[in-house]
């Protein structure tokens, strides 16, 4: 069970990813951000390091690690480039993890080695134009016809769905109706594996986003997409419930990414405060700057404690839904607040895109929205309190 003091194995992993982030990722981050280009060369090296396979067993091409190991890697990447970090986070916790958690042996053997190596990416096809936080409003539908699922619908904001190495999207779709205890009916939502090469599957034009410019995000259109009946992932009618459990786990991972972003803003601000002079002193000599950076460090520290705790509970087999929601909320707000304060510390330079704090300022807002808004986290926490 991981504690705040990392074991030697965890620390070595964190240190190696930190070195990779500083020496490989950071030097090309501005270029990819400005060009809105996907960092294929970085992703390839991440795959070679085994980062995409961290939480998966060796029998499926993984590293035999766990979710906490993945989170440590995400924190270090998130310090310098959130686009790269979200590519890993979405590729593993949202793309490959559903196959690992709910797939048949045949599905795991077909897909996990590709995904764990980083040679292929998968997307998490849940959100729709009218079904975001209210994912029960899913309108994409699928029917069985001659041993095939015929899928029609639209998905929105799907990460890793349109790159040259995107190979799979797991899609939620209405496959019928289920009886409720009160005698009424509700949508039967199932999950179906859709290879991106399937006729009728189309990744539309990439979004022009405020931030995360080097990550890949598209709306998807599925028009009479036909896949074999055995592409059903997990039990029929359990697709929505299964995806919610994937999101619970994913909130730990996204919290780690957000913690890294918050810490990155601290590190950059400390360095700048020691170098920048005003009125005859380095600005770090002034309490106004000292106190601002001290609060930033407190936020990053608190966010780290929150995601460590949620991860520890998850790995120990204990309930962790509430703790993951707390971590997601605290870390997302820490990243956004620290990005704002770091921009203030940098003054005019903080408003120039070539400075990393400016990119964090643009990137961090989505951490209060994606994978469950702050309001959804508050709802989950309140519900656990019996409200």
- The catalytic site residues sit at 371
Contact residues for 99 (Cβ-Cβ < 8 A; gap 6+):
107, 108, 111, 112, 115, 122, 168, 170, 193, 233
Does residue 273 contact residue 147 with C-beta atoms inside 8 Å?
no
* Cα–Cα dist 154/140, whole Å: 6
State how far the alpha carbon of 87 is from the alpha carbons of 84, 174, 228, in Å.
5, 28, 28
Beta-bridge partners for 128: 131
Sign of CA dihedral 208, 332, 275, 27: negative
* Cα–Cα dist 22/27, whole Å: 8
Nearest alpha carbon to residue 193 among 123, 116, 120:
123
φ/ψ region of 53 (left if φ > 0, alpha if ψ in -120 to 50, else beta) reads alpha
* CA-atom Rg of the chain in angstroms: 21
């Amino acid at each position: 069970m991981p504690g705040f003091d990392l074991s030697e194995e965890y620390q070595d992993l964190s240190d190696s990813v930190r070195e990779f982030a500083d020496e490989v990722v950071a030097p090309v981050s501005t270029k990819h951000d400005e060009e809105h280009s996907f960092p294929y060369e970085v992703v390839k090296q991440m795959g070679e390091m085994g980062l995409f396979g961290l939480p998966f067993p060796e029998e499926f091409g993984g590293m035999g690690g766990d979710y906490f190991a993945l989170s440590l890697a995400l924190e270090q990447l998130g310090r310098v480039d959130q686009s790269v970090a979200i590519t890993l986070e979405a590729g593993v916790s949202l793309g490959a993890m559903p196959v690992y958690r709910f797939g048949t042996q045949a599905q795991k053997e077909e897909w996990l080695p590709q995904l764990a190596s980083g040679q292929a990416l998968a997307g998490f096809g849940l959100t729709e134009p009218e079904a975001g936080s209210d994912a029960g409003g899913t309108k994409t539908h699928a029917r069985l016809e001659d041993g095939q699922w015929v899928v029609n619908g639209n998905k929105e904001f799907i990460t890793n769905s349109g790159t040259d190495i995107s190979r799979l999207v797991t899609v939620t779709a209405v496959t019928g109706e289920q009886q409720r205890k009160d005698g009424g009916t509700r949508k039967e939502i199932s999950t179906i594996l859709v290879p991106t090469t399937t006729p009728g599957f189309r990744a539309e034009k990439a979004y022009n986003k405020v931030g995360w410019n080097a990550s890949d995000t598209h709306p998807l259109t599925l028009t009479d997409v036909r896949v074999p009946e055995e592409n059903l992932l997990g039990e029929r009618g359990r697709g929505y419930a299964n995806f919610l459990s994937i999101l619970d786990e994913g909130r730990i991972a996204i919290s780690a990414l957000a913690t890294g972003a918050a810490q990155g803003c601290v590190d950059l601000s400390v360095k700048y405060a020691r170098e920048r002079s005003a009125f005859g002193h380095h600005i770090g000599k002034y309490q106004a700057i000292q106190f601002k950076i001290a609060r930033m460090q407190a936020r990053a520290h608190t966010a780290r404690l929150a995601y460590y705790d949620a991860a520890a509970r998850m790995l120990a087999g204990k309930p962790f839904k509430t703790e993951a929601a707390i971590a997601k909320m605290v870390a997302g707000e820490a990243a956004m607040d620290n990005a704002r304060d770091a921009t203030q510390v940098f003054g005019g330079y903080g408003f120039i895109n070539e400075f990393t704090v400016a990119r964090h300022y643009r990137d961090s807002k989505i951490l209060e929205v994606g994978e469950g808004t702050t309001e959804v986290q508050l709802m989950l926490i309140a519900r656990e309190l019996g409200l």
